Amino acid sequence: MLPLTRGLLRALPRATPLRIAPALTRAFHLTPPITRQVSVAASTEEMQAAKESRVTDPDIPTLDIISNLNVYSDIPAPASAIDTIYDDGFTFTSGLTFTDGSGCILIHNEAFKWRPTVKGDEIEAKAMKTGILELGKEVWGLLDVVTPKPELLIVGTGKRTLMLSKEDRERITELGIRMDVMDTTHAAAQYNLLATERPNGQVAAALLVDAFAEVKKKKGGFGKD
């Protein structure tokens, strides 16, 4: 090997050191966005006046924020979508109504009465005490026989959100179905949205009546009767 003399060292190309450029950051100023803001009328009269001005003045563009954000506003809701919730039943967009205390299973755009428990029975009393809803494997029989099975089951547990028992959760999981559990009001809204978005039966719902697991108010305070 040749010794590295000063001459040879000077002849070798010099490596250019890497330069780390400073991060190209920009301060975010809280400046108002370049969009038109729509103020909410503080009274019914103001809302009516605003509505009339939009209709009579063609120079004022109509800005309906909710409609613009809802990309499914022009898609008709499925017949099984819930139109009205009562304490003891439901009305669906198909016109079907029942108010006999039965819950419902919504699957493949059809609504079926579902009565795994009723208000005031032992299942409700235990659920209100423990926060766990124990229905039993047999109440999920419709999901067992239907084909194709839904990918997601939205479970509505009445007036408040209850946890499904381990047995119920295991049964639904065995069928290859994911689940989302919440109170009946939110479950109905979630079903309406997802069933409209995925109209091919991927989403199902099992809802108890809204008054199930309701804690009644005592005079002068809150609590159970």
User: Per residue in 122-171, pLDDT tens?
Assistant: 999 999 999 999 999 999 999 999 999 999 999 999 999 999 999 999 99
Q: Which of 191, 196, 168 is CA-nearest to residue 85?
A: 191
| Across 13-22, 62-71, 155-164, 209-218, least confident range | 13-22
Question: How large is the average pLDDT for residues 18-39?
Answer: 35
In the three-class reduction of DSSP (H, G, I as helix; E, B as strand; rest coil), residue 49 is classed as helix
* pLDDT tens sequence across 91-101: 999 999 999 99
pLDDT of residue 218: 55
Domains of the chain, by residue range, sit at: 78-207
DSSP class of residue 116 equals S
Non-local (6+) Cβ contacts of 153 within 8 A are: 143, 172, 177, 178, 179, 180, 204, 205, 206
The CATH homologous superfamily for domain 78-207 is MTH938-like (3.40.1230.10)
pTM of the entire predicted model: 0.65
